[in-house]
Amino acid sequence: MHITVTGAAGYIGSHACLKLLDDGHQVHGLDNYSRSFERTVQALQRAGGDRFHFTRVELNDQHATTQALKLHATELVMHFAAFAVVPESVKFPLLYWHNNVGATVSLLNAMDAVDCGKLIFSSTCATYGEPAPEHIPIGEDCPQRPTHAYGESKLACEHMMQAWVQSHALAERDRGVVFLRYFNVAGGDHLDRIGEDHDPETHLIPICLRAATGRHAPLVVHGNDYPTPDGTCIRDYVHVEDLVQAHIEAINLIPRRDTLAMNVGTGVGASVLEVLRACSLAAGREVPFHVGARRNGDPPRLVSNPEKIVGLTNWRPTRSSLEDIARSAWRWVNR
Ligand SMILES: NC(=O)c1ccc[n+]([C@@H]2O[C@H](COP(=O)([O-])OP(=O)(O)OC[C@H]3O[C@@H](n4cnc5c(N)ncnc54)[C@H](O)[C@@H]3O)[C@@H](O)[C@H]2O)c1
């Protein structure tokens, strides 16, 4: 297939490109490098040869985005591009509405201009906000009540895509979207061609491993007095290659004139201290850390109920044990 990947230079988008290229697809990556690096695209070019094309484009520029989609006959878009740092979104909410919602308006218009109607959208468990205990593990029917601009912007995109699909269906045109609501993504390529490459880094596992190298600041554990067995927050970690496999499965599930939402998580939670131990084992040395204050808006426990994706597809997480995630992330950090 000819597949366009937005956010192709970013962490998850680049791993998706790599898998699509490994599977023999033609891939057209789009990115503006606002949160990523050219070196990642160079790695994709080495892996994909002439089946990988890249266009540097700002998605908020609708004309440029349309021109980019016209370059290659796109059959399907995977839309990863977004800003995704929660505290930043609390400080600069308009940045998130502009970059995440505005750019998605532009992308949908550009898809209409080239009559491409298949979309897989990177959504997030942050759209669920802080679910009540009876909604954990979190199923897709859990009420979506985001608590910050990042989650709100992603939920707004889901709503906009529903309206887009419905308006086309009324005119008997095919538009279909799968919303994949990711939990916490971590780990890297099994051949170490790429990995998680953020600056600054805000995700727990790479922060732990960078701290283990001794070249970065010790980890701050934000609160150890939560109502969890060891007092630290519990999250559901999914290996980036398992997550990408969920996208591959989703390709065949894109509805003709509808949307479909699926959570992507393992259903198993790990606390910050458990992650810390797995990272210490992977690195072969202690992760230096100290306990700090709680952060606003950190729910004690966010764990997915993966029954829907497991029921509808052949997807099963095979690389998402903490040990596997920490080992692959360590190889990348320590390369
Ligand atoms: N990483 C996670 O754990 C996680 C969890 C849930 C959801 N998600 C979602 O997955 C997607 C990818 O996340 P990631 O961790 O790879 O983020 P990332 O920051 O590594 O990648 C995003 C990429 O999009 C690009 N981009 C952003 N705005 C753009 C614009 N206006 N025009 C062109 N390019 C633009 C950035 O330069 C970057 O390369 C995001 O939509 C995010 O909301 C991620």
Q: Say which CATH number the domain at 290 has.
A: 3.90.25.10
pLDDT at position 296 is 82
* 197 part of a folded domain: no
Ligand 1 atom 34 nearest Cα: 31
pLDDT at 69: 97
User: What atom of ligand 1 comes closest to residue 184's alpha carbon?
Assistant: 3
Residues 290 and 272 sit within 8 Å (Cβ to Cβ) = no
The per-residue DSSP string of 188-234 comes to --TT-S-----SS---HHHHHHHHHHTSSPPEEEE-S-SSSTTSS-E
Asked if residue 121 has its Cβ within 6 Å of ligand 1, the reply is: no
Distance 134 CA to ligand 1 centre (A): 30
Q: Is the CB of 128 under 6 A from ligand 1?
A: no
- 11, 96, 150, 182: the catalytic one is 150
Q: Is residue 103 included in any domain, yes or no?
A: yes
The amino acid present at 187, given as its one-letter code, is: G
pLDDT at 153: 98
Q: Is 64 in the pocket of ligand 1 (CB under 6 A)?
A: no
Q: Which helix (H) or strand (E) holds 177?
A: strand 176-182
Question: Are residues 280 and 259 part of one domain?
Answer: no
- The total number of structural domains that make up the chain: 2
- Please tell me the distance between residue 231's alpha carbon and the centre of ligand 1 in angstroms: 30
Tell me: do 171 and 214 sit in the same domain: no
| Mean pLDDT per 10-residue section of the chain, whose length is 335 residues | 98 98 97 98 97 98 98 96 96 98 98 98 97 96 97 98 97 97 98 94 94 93 96 98 98 98 98 98 96 90 97 98 97 93
Which residues touch 324 (CB under 8 Å, ≥6 apart)? 187, 239
**What spacing in Å lies between the alpha carbon of 84 and ligand 1's midpoint?**
6
Ligand 1 atom showing the smallest separation from residue 84 Cα: 43
| pLDDT score at 137 | 98
**Pocket of ligand 1, candidates 63, 123, 182: which has the most ligand atoms within 8 Å of its Cβ, to mutate?**
182
pLDDT of residue 289: 96
Tell me, what's the pLDDT at 297?
79
pLDDT at 109: 98
CB of 245 within 6 A of ligand 1: the answer is no
Q: What is the CATH number of the domain that holds 137?
A: 3.40.50.720
150 carries an active-site annotation: yes
**Which single residue is written with the structure tokens 């190889």?**
331
pLDDT for the residue 275? 98
C-alpha span between 79 and 106 (Å, rounded): 12
Three-state secondary structure call for residue 259:
strand
Residues 158 and 101 in one domain: yes
172 in the same domain as 45: yes
| Mean per-residue pLDDT over the chain, rounded | 97
264 three-class SS: strand
Q: Is 12 in the pocket of ligand 1 (CB under 6 A)?
A: yes
Q: Whole domain around residue 219: which residue ranges?
A: 204-235+268-333
Before 93, cis peptide (omega within 30)? no
